[in-house]
Structures are given as C-alpha cells and as structure tokens.
Structure 1
C-alpha cells in the first residue's frame, strides 16, 4: 500500500482492534467473508460494488484492497473504471440533491 494513504503507523494502530476485542474482530471478519462469498451476486459483481462504495466512503485501504480483489475475481480494468464512474455519479448526485437546501435558503 502506498505510504501517502495513512502510513504504516495507522495500520499498526488499527491492528490493535484485534488485540483489544478479538471476538468482535472475528465476528466482523466472518461477516465480511459471508458478504463477499458467491451468492445471487457473483464475487466479481460484489467486488465491483465494493470498489464503487470505497470511492464514495473515500477509504484508501478499501479502494486498494477491493480493486485487487475485483481483478482477482475477473473484473477488467474497464469494468473497474466504470464502477468508479458510478461512484462519481452518485457523489455528484448527492450534491445535486442537496442543492435544494441552498435554493431554499435563497427564497
């Protein structure tokens, strides 16, 4: 992972969660594993959705990890780019939808 995200120190700090609450971390990992396992949606589709969501939540670790997992699940570079543009549209759409607040203030 690139150092410019949050750095190795941040990853080490986050890893403390395993030490402090191992049962909750294991429950999270089990849940995550079930969510991303093959189901009605393919693993590839789920990973493409995760790539888009990671861009919306702006989590650099998730962006990197789910992009790698999407590639491993068979996603093409073009499919990954398209998923990212879905996220771009959703973020822009949220801003547009909230424009009603500013427009209402101007009334």
Structure 2
C-alpha cells in the first residue's frame, strides 16, 4: 500500500520485543483479549463486528486490518462489515453533534456574562 511506511508491518520480532519489555503486562493483555473474544452470550462474529466498528472510531489501522479479517473468518459477510463501519461513522458524527452543546453553552456565557 502507498501509506504503509506510516505504520510498520507487525512482525514476530516486534511482538517478541513488546513481550520482552513488559512480559507480565503482555500476558495479562493476551489473557484479557482471549477472554473478551471467546464465544459467550455474544457470538464471536458479533464481537468481531463490534471490534471492526470500534477500530474505525479509534482509527487503529492494525485493529482495522486484524478485526476485519477475524470478522470474515468468524462468518461475517462483507456487507455486515461495511454496515458495522457505517454504524461507527454515525456514532462518531453523533458525538460531535452531541458535544456541540458545550460550544453552545460557552457561546451563551460569552453573550450573557454574569
């Protein structure tokens, strides 16, 4: 890809170095991740679709790639992945609209100083 130089490709060496630098934290994170994504009340497919949506809101390219692939492997269709992305887009835009109340409140304070 054209912009791959912005984000290094994940490699075994990077993963090993990350684990070596903080082994206890890495193991705790791995256990947490395995626990969160295992089949439960929500099927793994749904959990991966949620992860795809959240990855787009957090804008993590590594997460987008990995969770998109995992969602497809767990049975999601391309249409379901895209629909999850649209839900994320609406939520992100909705947050901006909702937070406009802060700007409106501040502008009102400036118009009517006490």
TM-score after normalising by structure 2: 0.83
Deviations 1:20-44 (A, max 9, x none): 1112101111110111000000000
Give how far 1:102 is off.
1.4
Give how far 1:10 is off.
9.6
C-alpha distance 5-12 of structure 1, shift in aligned 2 (>3 A): farther
- Structure 1 partner of 2:80: 79
Q: Distance between the aligned counterparts of 1:9 and 1:57, measured in 2?
A: 18
Q: How does 1:20-35 map to 2 (within 5 A)?
A: 20-35=21-36
- Structure 1's unaligned 5+ residue stretches are none
Q: How does 1:34-53 map to 2 (within 5 A)?
A: 34-53=35-54
Q: How does 1:1-107 map to 2 (within 5 A)?
A: 3-8=4-9, 16-107=17-108
Give how far 1:106 is off.
2.1
- Structure 2's unaligned 5+ residue stretches are 109-114
Give how far 1:54 is off.
0.3
Aligned residues: 107
- Structure 2 SS opposite 1:28: helix
Give how far 1:5 is off.
4.5
Deviations 1:13-72 (A, max 9, x none): 675321111121011111101110000000000000000000011100000000000000
Q: Which has the larger radius of gyration?
A: 2
Q: CA RMSD in A?
A: 2.3
Give how far 1:12 is off.
5.8
